[in-house]
Amino acid sequence: MSVVYLFLNYELNNSIDRQFQKVASSAKNLFEINLEHDKIELELKLDKLISSKGLAKAVSGRDHKNIASIVLPLYNELKLTQDSVNILTFRSNDGTTLYRAHKPEYFGDMLNKKRTLIVDTNTLQRSFSGFEVGNLEMTYRITKPIFYNEVYVGNVELGVSPDNFLKSLSSIFKADIGVAINRSLLDIMLSKEGVVVDENYIYIKGSEKLKTHLQHEHKEDAELYKVDMSIPLKNHLSQTLGYLVVGYDMSAVAKKDKEFMQHLFFMIVIIMLTLGIIHHFGFSKMLNHFSKQVYTDHLTALLNRHALNDNLFSQKNKVLILSNIKEFSLINELYGVDVGNEILIRAAEAFDEFAKKHKFDAYRISSDEFVLLKKEDDFDSDEYCKIIEELHAKINSLKIFAAGVEEVITIEIYSGIAFNDKHPLEDAQMAIKKAKKQLLPYLMYSPKVDTKEYSQNVMRVKRCIKYALEHKNVIPFFQPITNRDGEVIKYEALVRIVEFDDGEKKILPPCDFLDISMSSGLYIKIAKEMLVQSLSLFAQRSEKIAINFLPNDFFNSSMMDTLVEQIKKFDSPQRVVVEITEQEGVENFEMLRKAVEKLREMGVQIAIDDFGSGYANYAHVLEIKPDYIKIDGSLIQNILTENDSKILVKSIVRFAKDLNITTVAEFVENEEIFELLKEYGVDEFQGYYFGRPSDLITPSYQA
């Protein structure tokens, strides 16, 4: 019998180790996923912030107050959805601090310490991210370069508190989470305040329970308190500064397993004493009973986290719905723990009833978190939207009566749903996190939820643009513009990029790369390449050539110098038409008007593009006095079916004729539109009816 007891005790210890390893592995997986998700999300927010009107100019001019006026409202808005963001600093290209949004009262020229992160950002003029160690603190930092008129003028640094990843992991895994950093990174005096983990690392942040354990104040619990340090915290150079420390109290699990072992051992003795009676009828029931104790949540009688871990271990496709009760902590504070427990019991009953109806297994995995899980080979998103709508309707309709509470209590839930065989719980957690930020009741996990796919595409396009610029693969395509007789009198230059994908040549339209080029400081290079190629070709031809300029292009001296240089190649500058394309929020309209006047003095003709939408209003036309008005394409596309479009086009044509301005209609796709526009008095025409954009330099492609 002693051999049996020793064997059971050995299996007990192994079981505890295996369960801890599962928790540690899941925690590491979720940490890495959440860190990547938050990094991508924050990088996108920084990109949006950098592109704010006037910000790059303010950083270039070291205009502290203007930076503050632009940034502070956006920073406050960011804090509403990302309360863990505690640092937002703008610096010049020499490291001088221009503005700190987290300390908005500060306006100064304090020279920043030459931290490697900032030095590398200034030197390489690119984005970096990673952990940094401060005074007994570790934060996650992201930097972004800022360009103005294609020139690097400074950077922005964003810092995220470690509480961001400590709280999320501890709430999901019911683990104690902390941070240990390399002792060599701490000042000797400061290191005394930390707790020594080993000869290399010091515990500086996180759970007090974990800190107490590391101080060895409860040695009797040491075997049942498992600590994992396998999650590295790396800086932007991929150097490990420290580790996330995960502590898990296995005493509750060990107690259940030990009770199970003791009862099992006792029953084995009874079995042997009763000569096999229980062997035939009671042993399997006994195992089921005690197994149920290990895998059952005692408050709600649902399956618990240990049961979920075992079921997630199988390599089969699963549908997982994760739900938690909105503001449950406030309910506990308002009504007390006993009422909170009654709410959890009623909610569990509803989840269990719903699970049985739809063939799920129901789990309660933490305080107010419930999981529905089932194996599923064919996942129909529309069908599961109906299912989750039904679940929310069921839970939201609960009317809970509790002792000592006069009113009827109702609850609502958030939910995240995921479908895969690898990490559905982590995916569902990500979906529910996004749902809360967007104030949605539920969200289904997809690549768009973690924005990873979008971010990868942005990086791919950036690489494609840089390669195209280096290898002269930014090329102009030209679309014909005709007179009322259908004769080609002019061409518009339209930018394209040639991309090679597995040896196959593809032509990328501007919608695939232009916005990304603007946010990454590559737009001016593309625009100048277009100017040189387009005007060089048409200087040798007889037709007119129209080129597109954004309003802010007129303020870029490099762009204007290139334009003037190319115009000098023409025997008649009147053959060059500069189209001012739509862009919201012209920084200085008076400056734009003066730039247009200088071009007009050279003989260049001016067109206003997309007239009828955006900034291109009648007042601006009167000030600029263009030679051409190009009617917004959306009006032309709908002119056969929408009466409002007909009225607007007629009005624009009359307005232009009164001012002796030539009208051009885009998106003329068929003869019926062509004839109607001629009837209205339009002068020139552009669209697929007359020809698609094509490569006139090396004429082998069309788009």
Task: Say which CATH number the domain at 682 has.
Answer: 3.20.20.450
Pair of tokens at residue 351 = 């989840």
Residues 498 and 563 in one domain: yes
3-state secondary structure of 452: helix
Pair of tokens at residue 394 = 């069921």
* 26, part of any domain: no
CATH classification at residue 326: 3.30.70.270
The H or E element containing residue 167 is helix 163-173
Q: How far apart are CA 495 and CA 304, in angstroms?
A: 59
Residue 634 exposed, middle or buried by CB count within 10 Å (0-12, 13-18, 19+): middle
The secondary structure of 390-437, three-state, reads HHHHHHHCCCECCCCCCCCECCCEEEEEEEECCCHHHHHHHHHHHHHH
> By the 8 A CB rule, do 579 and 548 touch?
yes
Q: Which residues contact 54 (CB under 8 A, 6 or more apart)?
A: 66, 70, 587
* 697, part of any domain: no
> By the 8 A CB rule, do 142 and 39 touch?
yes
Q: How far is CA 440 from CA 326, 431, 444, 654, 656, in A?
A: 12, 10, 11, 49, 48
Domain limits at 420? 295-444
Residue among 179, 250, 173, 258 nearest 211 (CA): 179
What is the CB neighbour count within 10 angstroms for residue 642? 13
What local confidence, expressed as pLDDT, does residue 626 receive?
Answer: 92
Residues 440 and 462 in one domain: no
* 1, part of any domain: no
Residue among 177, 231, 228, 182 nearest 35 (CA): 231
Last residue within a domain, chosen from 420, 444, 468: 444
The torsion angle over the Cα atoms of residues 633, 635, 639 and 641, rounded to 10 degrees, is 110
3-state secondary structure of 513: coil
> By the 8 A CB rule, do 244 and 204 touch?
no
The secondary structure of 263-329, three-state, reads HHHHHHHHHHHCCCHHHHHCHHHHHHHHHHHHCECCCCCCECHHHHHHHHCCCCCEEEEEEEECCHH
Give buried/exposed letters for 606-632 (b at 16+ CB in 10 A, else e).
Answer: bbbbbbbeeebeeebbeebebbbbbbb
What are the backbone angles phi and psi of residue 45, rounded to the nearest 5°? Answer: -65, -40
> By the 8 A CB rule, do 363 and 371 touch?
yes
Q: How far apart are CA 579 and CA 581, in angstroms?
A: 6
Residues 118 and 246 in one domain: no
- How much is the CA Rg of the chain, to the nearest whole Å? 34
Residue listed under structure tokens 């075992």: 310
Q: How far apart are CA 167 and CA 175, in angstroms?
A: 10
Q: How far apart are CA 185 and CA 133, in angstroms?
A: 7
Angle between helix axes 643-658 and 671-680 (nearest 10 degrees) is 50
Q: How far apart are CA 94 and CA 324, in angstroms?
A: 48
Q: Which residues contact 572 (CB under 8 A, 6 or more apart)?
A: 603
Residues 531 and 433 in one domain: no
Q: How far apart are CA 295 and CA 297, in angstroms?
A: 7
What 8-state DSSP symbol labels residue 638?
T
What are the backbone angles phi and psi of residue 148, rounded to the nearest 5°? Answer: -130, 120
* 9, part of any domain: no
Q: Which residues contact 5 (CB under 8 A, 6 or more apart)?
A: 265
How many domains in the chain?
Answer: 4
Low pLDDT (below 70) residues in the chain? 1-16, 104-113, 134-136, 162-174, 186-194, 199, 216-223, 250-293, 315, 421, 447-456, 502-503, 582-587, 613-619, 698-703
Residues 341 and 209 in one domain: no
Pair of tokens at residue 209 = 């329970």
Q: How far is CA 378 from CA 72, 312, 419, 420, 426, in A?
A: 48, 18, 10, 11, 20
What local confidence, expressed as pLDDT, does residue 702 receive?
Answer: 46
Residue among 384, 264, 261, 243 nearest 320 (CA): 384
> By the 8 A CB rule, do 635 and 666 touch?
no
Q: How far is CA 548 from CA 247, 488, 576, 598, in A?
A: 61, 19, 11, 17
Residues 508 and 601 in one domain: yes
Residues 183 and 134 in one domain: no
Q: How far apart are CA 24 and CA 29, in angstroms?
A: 9
Residue among 407, 440, 420, 305 nearest 364 (CA): 305
Pair of tokens at residue 217 = 């104040």
CA diameter of the chain: 114
Last residue within a domain, chosen from 162, 182, 203: 162
Residues 363 and 403 in one domain: yes
Residues 245 and 316 in one domain: no
CATH classification at residue 138: 3.30.450.20
Residues 544 and 491 in one domain: yes
Last residue within a domain, chosen from 136, 162, 188: 162
The whole-model pTM stands at 0.47
Tens of pLDDT, residues 565-613: 999 999 999 999 999 986 555 557 788 888 999 999 999 999 998 887 6
Q: Which residues contact 445 (CB under 8 A, 6 or more apart)?
A: 416, 417, 418, 419, 427, 428, 430, 431
The torsion angle over the Cα atoms of residues 334, 335, 341 and 347, rounded to 10 degrees, is -80
Q: Is the dihedral of CA 304, 306, 309, 311 positive or negative?
A: negative
* 260, part of any domain: no
Residues 484 and 616 in one domain: yes
Residues 142 and 208 in one domain: no
Q: How far apart are CA 428 and CA 34, in angstroms?
A: 12
What local confidence, expressed as pLDDT, does residue 188 receive?
Answer: 40
